[in-house]
Amino acid sequence: MGNRSKLKPKKISKKEEMTDNHKKNGYSKLLGIKGLSAKAKIFDILAGGKIAFLNTQEAMENDIYPAYRGVLKKGNKELVVMFDLTENLVKKGEIGLFAEVEKELKAKEGEQIIIKHLERPASIDYIRKKLDGKFLEDKEMNVIIKDLMDNRLSQVELAAFVSAMYIRGVNYEETVSLANSIVNSGDTLNLHKKPILDKHCVGGVAGNRTTMIVVPIIAAAGCYIPKSSSRAITSAAGTADTMEVLAPVDIQMDELKRIVLKTKGAIVWGGGMNLAAADDKLIKIRHPLSLDPKGVVLASVLSKKKAVNATHVIIDIPIGRGAKFQDMDVAKDLANDFINIGKKLGMKIEAVITDGSDPIGNGIGPALECKDVLEVLEGKGPYDLREKSCALAGGLLELAGKAPKGRGMAIAEDLINNEKALKKFREIIGEQGGNPRIKIDELPIGEYIYQVKAEKSGRIGHVDSKILSKIARAAGSPKDIGAGIVLHREAGDKVRKGEVILSVYSESETKIEFAIKALEALNPIELEQYLLKSVR
């Protein structure tokens, strides 16, 4: 269209001039030119995000505002950051890098960094699509997770995405796409072996430390089981916290590979590796409003299994009062979803619905739960923990075809009775860098003890996992590994007035006081009422 008028402006060609104009006019957004160059100035501020700061005047001249997001480029390395502005801390031509940014870009003081405007990420249209109730294609889900990993999506955009999945729902295909994208977002463990077994518990039951018994049994049975576990969020101890009493769990991928190839089993902290990296970012968004869309939960769990190339997985779904799920039908649906999505991801899955109405084992808190675990492996210890662990291990062996149908549990029990599981566990502890000869009475149990006695005789009706967790945390766990609770009686037991029913352990006088305060406010143990009403 259109020919030139008489006032014919001359063409601008040389890139340098463009950049000068860009500096003057900040039109890179409009025409995407090569960007602004600035000298790195390192600040040691940990911002909990990728943040850089610019001289206020220079920023304004370049259409950059506080909390505006842009791209930093050093060599071929690009990083999306959020900008803070400062009058004095950096001059024009300089850019201040906070700790996370310095680390990511491997930038040194005085190095030249290119600042570019951020193009609108394609995934924004896909998030809109989800908000509008349409389902996402595999490729669209991948782009969203990739942009999430590249830090191209803001908290607002991510929260909208999670909210949309929560309200609109996530179908099977989307769940599979999401799980696969999450797997691809991080590193994977490639043992090049088959089968690779794994287990997961949807959680909510205090003292439920089966993993530390299942793993040595499975490994002793000759199967690979590279187990990555989590730390406690609201509970008194996660498996990672508990294992850490005996050996380091913050172990890198290649070290994990070495350990598992040698001992067949390991129990490490998942957060320490880069497995299913996108999942951790999504959890940070889901947490504040506890937005747990079913499909996202399924993808979150199964992507972590897929990332270690698991072939056979057993999933423990405890139900009952105090557990995450109360209703059998809800649990059954979840079980079927795990099995079906797992199949689509190429994993054979068995889901077992277990009784989660009361705590498993006697100890609650890292060191106290270790005590239970070691006792069970020594052929003693809490019967319920031993039973459940052998059932899970046996089921897993049968699922993988390593035990005849119906014989799995017996095989698991044999491996405890002949102490092969104990031997294997000590071998794993040693390989992970712990003391393989640790004795139970060497465990660092807190020295401050407070005993709770029955106020009257009766039968224990309910022991509440959530309340016990609160009290154990008040006493210091999981931070203080010796803190926690020991249950001397369990639901169904008859108790006499004055009999000790539980003991609280703490490492400090202060914290045992906190626990006592919590105990005064919350009652973890209910006695059954016999006399409901007396009539005269």
Give me the amino acid identity at 53: F
Query: CA separation (Å) from 232 to 124, 142, 365, 436, 501?
Result: 34, 30, 10, 24, 25
Nearest 10 degrees: Cα torsion 428, 429, 433, 437: -130
The reply to whether 66 sits near a second copy by the rule CB under 8 A is: yes
CA dist 477 and 471 (Å) reads 9
Planar angle of CA 445, 448, 451, nearest 5 degrees: 100
**Choices 20-28, 216-224, 348-356, 485-493; region in contact with a second copy by CB under 8 A:** 20-28
Least distance from C-beta 40 to a second copy, angstroms? 17
Residues 379-408 that bind a second copy (CB under 8 A): none
The reply to whether 31 sits near a second copy by the rule CB under 8 A is: yes
Query: CA separation (Å) from 227 to 230, 249, 251?
Result: 10, 11, 12
Least distance from C-beta 61 to a second copy, angstroms? 11
Cβ-based nearer residue to a second copy, 281 or 344: 281
**Choices 61-69, 254-262, 267-275, 416-424; region in contact with a second copy by CB under 8 A:** 61-69
The reply to whether 345 sits near a second copy by the rule CB under 8 A is: no
**Choices 18-26, 73-81, 222-230, 435-443; region in contact with a second copy by CB under 8 A:** 18-26
Cβ-based nearer residue to a second copy, 178 or 518: 518
Cβ-based nearer residue to a second copy, 312 or 473: 473
Burial of 502 by CB count in 10 Å (0-12 exposed, 13-18 middle, 19+ buried)? buried
Q: Hey, how many other C-beta atoms are within 10 angstroms of the C-beta on 406? A: 9
Least distance from C-beta 26 to a second copy, angstroms? 9
Site string for a second copy, 154-193 (x = CB under 8 A): xxxxxxx-xxx-xxx-------------------------
The reply to whether 222 sits near a second copy by the rule CB under 8 A is: no
**Choices 332-340, 396-404, 435-443, 512-520; region in contact with a second copy by CB under 8 A:** 512-520
The reply to whether 508 sits near a second copy by the rule CB under 8 A is: yes
β-strands 312-319, 197-201 pairing: parallel
Least distance from C-beta 179 to a second copy, angstroms? 23
Residues 434-493 that bind a second copy (CB under 8 A): 448-453, 455, 473-474, 476
204: enclosing H helix or E strand: none
C-alpha torsion sign, points 505, 506, 512, 515: negative
**φ/ψ bin of 29: left (φ > 0), alpha (ψ from -120 to 50), beta (otherwise):** alpha
Cβ-based nearer residue to a second copy, 67 or 328: 67
The reply to whether 76 sits near a second copy by the rule CB under 8 A is: no
The reply to whether 368 sits near a second copy by the rule CB under 8 A is: no
The terminus-to-terminus CA distance of the chain in angstroms comes to: 103
CA dist 253 and 75 (Å) reads 27
The reply to whether 68 sits near a second copy by the rule CB under 8 A is: yes
The reply to whether 42 sits near a second copy by the rule CB under 8 A is: no
398: enclosing H helix or E strand: helix 383-399
